[in-house]
Structure 1
């Protein structure tokens, strides 16, 4: 895989475990709307399709039926306020993330983030985690008209950085990431530890399945580079 010039990463469930913050924000929203709190495991299964869907799933569970437009709008506004207060607190990286990103960056790979999380929350998270300098381009779920699993965000990054999809790798933890990458004509790594609605990421048939993000170093970097950087 020496021909890969660009690596696009999902954020939640791929680089950071953001469920603790999302769980807190969801429960603040539910409390404000007069509902009982949700369990953390439930929130883990609701994450992955953006904030609107997360809020809708939480409301549906609380109400026992789909929320109407007014309920959804009020809850989404409450969620945004709550999440903005906690999104960048006590961030938890998955094992090997920081070292892997540093090695790829130092090796001259272009790195980008394509997340379905609303963009307004992303810069503060990257700044608090010390990751900002690694990424050339960052897209949120509302940065374009489409979001994953539509391929457009991934193709947009390729166009902006003038790198062909064939020389690009997508790295994510959910079916949305795999579907977007395949539709965009790029290879994809599926990580087993993130948020995929309780399903095995292998069922989505990514090109590679990894349980540890450090596998990217073996996949993408030459033996000479790894030797020079790790002895």
Structure 2
């Protein structure tokens, strides 16, 4: 194991969070008397942060374009309601993927720097990490609102490399989506993808990662 730094996506990589995200979305839709959406739809919308996910849901149930929702008052009405419901749901039905905890501990023994780089907002990221007792497992946590930009912008990865003085050749990104692949490539580091997460309904092989790993244990 030669990596000196590994950056991990959160949703669909470390933790399966889609069920509780769908719960919060549907709680919000019911609050306004709107139709609910399917779990499979929510799975496809995960990746760009909860705001963008909510935009997709509102467009779906309201027969509006995504751009109409993004610019309209409906989103501003729904955001605080969603925030309340997701704060309540966050951590209730999510679970670690197999081998995550053991693998992170092994990487620590190899003196590897570990980071989370997610588009999920900090308040939700912190809740998920604390719920699953992962808060102390990482040297750095970059959420979707840590920097002015988020993935696929490589700012979070580049910040970690600079912070730890690690060469790009010694760093790896582990994720589950085309967003993660693009982030790693823009940062100039290797990308490995897991096939079981949330890649907008597309197979991860389409992203042409450096490697597809069947489960977390293959990182070591």
Measured against the shorter chain, the TM-score band is over 0.9
Q: Are 1:168 and 2:171 matched, yes or no?
A: yes
The answer for unaligned runs of 5 or more in structure 2 is none
Q: Does 1:126 align with 2:125?
A: no
- 2-side partners of 1:164 and 1:81: how far apart? 41
- Equivalence for 2:202: 199
How large is the Cα RMSD of the aligned pairs?
1.2
Trace 1:135-150 onto structure 2 (pairs within 5 A): 135-150=138-153
Is 1:107 the counterpart of 2:116 in the alignment? Answer: no
Q: Unmatched 5+ residue regions in structure 1?
A: 218-231
Deviations 1:110-146 (A, max 9, x none): 1100000001111221111111121001011011011
Q: Is the 8 A contact 2:17 2:93 kept in 1?
A: no
CA contact (8 A) 2:18 2:94 kept: no
Question: Whole-Å Cα distance in 1 between the matches of residues 133 and 96 of structure 2?
Answer: 11
Q: Give the counterpart of 1:184 among 162, 166, 187.
A: 187
Write the distance in 1 (CA, Å) between the matches of 2:187 and 2:179. Answer: 12
1:1-231 → structure 2 map (5 Å cutoff): 2=2, 4-66=3-65, 67=69, 68-217=71-220
Q: How far did 1:174 drift?
A: 0.5
Q: Distance in 1 between matches of 2:147 and 2:96?
A: 27
Q: Which moved more, 1:59-68 or 1:48-57?
A: 59-68
Aligned length: 216
- Which range moved further: 88-97 or 163-172? 88-97
Quote how far apart the aligned CAs of 1:54 are: 0.2
Deviation at 1:187, TM superposition (A): 0.4
Q: TM-score, normalised by structure 2?
A: 0.94
TM-score relative to the length of structure 1:
0.90
Tell me if structure 1 keeps the 8 A contact 2:122–2:146.
yes
Q: Secondary structure at the match of 1:103?
A: helix
- Pick which of 174-183 and 151-160 moved more: 151-160
